[in-house]
Each structure stands twice: as structure tokens, then as C-alpha cells.
Amino acid sequence: MNNDQFGIKEALSELGLKETNSGTSTGSNWLDSKGDILESLSPVDGNLIGKVSSTTPEQYEEVVKTAQEAFKSWRTVPAPKRGEVVRQIGEELRKYKEPLGKLVSFEMGKSYQEGLGEVQEMIDICDFAVGLSRQLHGLTMHSERPNHRMYEQYHPLGVVGIISAFNFPVAVWSWNTMLAWVCGDVCIWKPSEKTPLCGVACQNIINKVFAENDVPEGVSCLVNGDYQIGELISNDTRVPLVSATGSTRMGKKVGAAVGARLGKSLLELGGNNAIIISKDADLDVAITGALFGAVGTCGQRCTSTRRLIIHSSKYDEVKEKLTGAYKQLKIGNPLDVNNHVGPLIDKDAVNMYLSALDQVKEQGGNIIVEGGVLEGEGYESGCYVKPVIAEASNEMQIVQHETFAPILYIMKYDTIDEAIELQNGVAQGLSSAIMTTHMREMEQFLSQAGSDCGIANVNIGTSGAEIGGAFGGEKETGGGRESGSDAWKVYMRRQTNTINYGTELPLAQGIKFDL
């Protein structure tokens, strides 16, 4: 299928993308292309979209020094004024929603509707951050000493490093950045080397708004490259907070590096998410939630549904309905709105998918919806695969592991206690859900003895989150929280203040120190 008919060339032009782009920016200043070239190959058709130069260590130094200098002035801008700049960014993103959504879809491989949804998440977090800019509150408390006042306040941290993943190439960056900016921080962003053009496009949009508002150079910085650039950020004592999204393996390395220098890390890592389908579930709702959770973004969401834990009395019916739904899935070009499932990100992801299927069979699983790589017209990239359903036990090693691909494991349970134990019986703890109309089951699932995940839903799937709630998980998911609620506090340092407005100096705890 010719992708020009979907307006890809026009979208690239609107976003200011060239055939070869600098991947290093301190804002409006794009540094000369000196590093290795990253080629962005679309998983949609396998063709080259564009090139981006990697950041050299010398350029990284220039970026950090510029960011440090920018922080000195940006932190003094009143928070509502910073919020006004973010409001304008939201308006600019509305103008570029279609071309940016197309780029997300074409460079990453998710459906165009999901690409538009990702840009909408950026717009939503801008709106959230604007309101937040007038609510960066502290606390007041009573002092035990007369004529004293105590309170707590929050100050910006400084330079925030953001390492994002390919599966949400723009949204997760915006979750971090918009909050960090209204808090008074400056940001250095390293996008995934698999989706570098999305990073350059976002920087182009930001630069326009910043120029109109005289925002200092260095508030928004971009660096590109492989894991070595991530290591520079993680080991840099000038970067007090590193927010990293990706695999648990990657997160452990980032966390160790940042922790060794006593920095702060915000880690959003792997998920192994389950939906419990109760005997009292509305199966129409349950099947829809399970289907999108398992195959949306071709199973490449950290919140993708990996496991279905089904009550034994409903097991055969759910299996039959789900198998029928899988047969109706249309796999193909994600820019075509008639298709449900696009490609995996690259050939390495395809190989991991195939390896996982081999392990399912070796470990005793029973594949009931067969997989495989699609070939022929429209599948030339070699990245299109068939979504799989396999009967498996929770204890199987492959089930315990997160495979970033559309593989769904189904299993039985008899009691709600057993179901919750199965749900919690993995190393990851991001998202979870129960499908039930039984009030007691709902409440038990959400209680302290229920789901051990950072996200626990009732009668909606594991995938998809609104920006108003804090997003993140427990255990090997990393424990971080970003986006809504009070996640803004991670981007700030907390300070306790005591003011003596009297004429004497009484000491706390009644200590006497008379001369």
C-alpha cells in the first residue's frame, strides 16, 4: 500500500522534518550533525522515513551547561506564567494533532487512531499542568514554640533527564515535561533510538512557542543516541532526577547508576498485566476489554493484557467468544482505519515473539489461536504478526516474563482468593482489572488484600489511563508515579521552614542553653 496516500510526506513537512536532521538541541539552537546517524525505518513498510544524527559526548556537555544556566532564570518565573507557556504548547499541539499523530503511527506502528490519542494525551497533560501551575501548594503547621510559624514548601529540582521508550514516543515525554516545566525545572529528553523523528518533531513545535514567549535557551533540550547517551544522563550528578521508561532490565541499570550518586529516579518499567473474569462478569464488556488490552498497539503497551484469569464456569464460553473475536481482527497498515492491528516495532521484536511461542510449546502450553509472521503484499516490512492465545499455567517461566508482543495467556480459577493470588503471582505490578458485577468481589479486589498493582480497575481493561490519575506500578515495575494526582512532587525538592517573629530564641523540646 502506498503510504503517500495517507499524507505522510505532507505530515513530515508540516512538522519541519528533513531527510537528515540534527538530533541535538538546546532549544532553537540545533547543534551541527557530528554523531553517528540513526536511521528511522518505518515498521509499516520497512522504508526509510528520515535520518537523525546522534549526540556526541561533547555536544551532551554543551546541552547540560546550557540547561543549567537556563534553570537559574526559569525557576524565578512565576509558576502561573510558566503555566501560560504550557497552555500555548497545548494550543500548538492541537494545530499539529493530525500530522504528529500520523508520524507516531508511521514511525512506531500503532494505529492512526492510537497515534491521535497519544497526541491528545499530550494536550490533556498540558491542560492539567496549566491548572497545576496555580496549585503548587505546601503545608502549614503549629510550632511548639511561641511566636514561631512553621510551614513546608516545594522548590524546583533543576535539570530533569527524561529517557522515553518507543511505544509511546511522545506522550510519556509530555507527562514528565509539562509537569516539570510548571514546577520550574528544565528538561533534557532522550527519545528512543527507534523513534527519533518524533523527538525532533516535538522539539520543533516547542521551539516555536518558546520563541514567542522569550523562554531562555536550555529549558527544552533534546539529545539522541543509543544506551550510551542514557548512561551519560544516568551518571551525571548535574541531573538530580532521571525519569526512565522501558524494560525492567533497563530500569535496574538506570536505578543503580542514579542511586549510586544518591540522585532521584522515576522508573516506569515492565508490566505483566492480568484481567480476572468472574462468573458474574458482563461478558460483552469483558471480551471487549480483553481484546483491546491484548492486541492494541500490537501488544506493545506496558499496560497490555498478558493474562486472562477466567472463572472455571465461564472458561469455555470466554475462550469461544475470544477465539471468534480474534478471527475477525484485521492486521495491516496502521494508517488504514479499517485495520485493528499494526506491526511490531522491528525485526528484533518479531524474533522475540517467535522465541516466546517456541517457549510456550516447550513449557507445556497449548496454543489455541496460532501465530506466525505475515508475508506478501502489504507485509513487506516483515514486522506484521498474528495475535496469539495460549492456554498456560501462571507458573510457566514464559508466562512470568513480559513479552512485548500480542500473546495472551488464559487460565482457570475457582475462588476469588485464588484469582487474586494468580493475578499477584508475577514479579511485575503495573496494571490489573476485574470484570464482575458482584460488589463484594469488586471491593475485595480493590482492598489491601487485593491487587498489588499500581493500577486496579473494575469493568474496564488494563490498558489505557487518563492523565488525571497518577500512573505507575509496584515491584519490578519500578514504583514511580507520573502524570496526574500529586505526581508533580517528584519533580521538586521539599523544604521545611520555621520563622521566629518574636524577640526571644526558645529552643525546641524545651532545651535550655543559657550563658
Residue partners of 394: CB distance under 8 A and separation at least 6: 307, 309, 400, 411, 422, 425, 426
Query: How distant is the alpha carbon of residue 213 from its chain centre?
Result: 28
CA 57 – CA 387 distance, rounded (Å): 41
Query: Residue 474, CB half-sphere, CA atoms under 13 Å: how many?
Result: 11
Q: How many residues make up the chain in this entry? A: 515
The amino acid at 402 = E
Give the closest residue to 37 by CA, choosing from 55, 14, 50, 53: 53
Give alpha helix (H) positions in 75-215: 79-95, 97-108, 112-132, 171-183, 196-212
> Contacts by 420-423 with C-beta closer than 8 Å and gap 24+?
420/276, 420/444, 420/445, 420/449, 420/450, 420/451, 422/274, 422/307, 422/309, 422/394, 423/274, 423/276, 423/307, 423/309, 423/451
CA 394 – CA 400 distance, rounded (Å): 7
Q: Which three cell numbers stand for residue 127?
A: 491542560
Active site residues: 268, 302
Give the closest residue to 357 by CA, choosing from 316, 325, 401: 401
At residue 219's C-alpha, the angle toward residues 154 and 24, to 5°, is 140
**Residue-wise DSSP of 126-164:** HHHHHHHTT----EEEE-SSTTEEEEEEEEE-SEEEEE-
Q: What's the chain's Rg over C-alpha atoms?
A: 24
388-391/366-369 β-pairing: antiparallel
**Residue-wise DSSP of 397-423:** HHHHSPPSSSEEEEEEESSHHHHHHHH
Buried b (16+ CB within 10 A) or exposed e, 167-194: bbbbbbbbbbbbbbbbbbbbbbbbbbbb
Q: Which three cell numbers stand for residue 157?
A: 529540582
Residue 334 near residue 343 (C-beta atoms within 8 A): yes
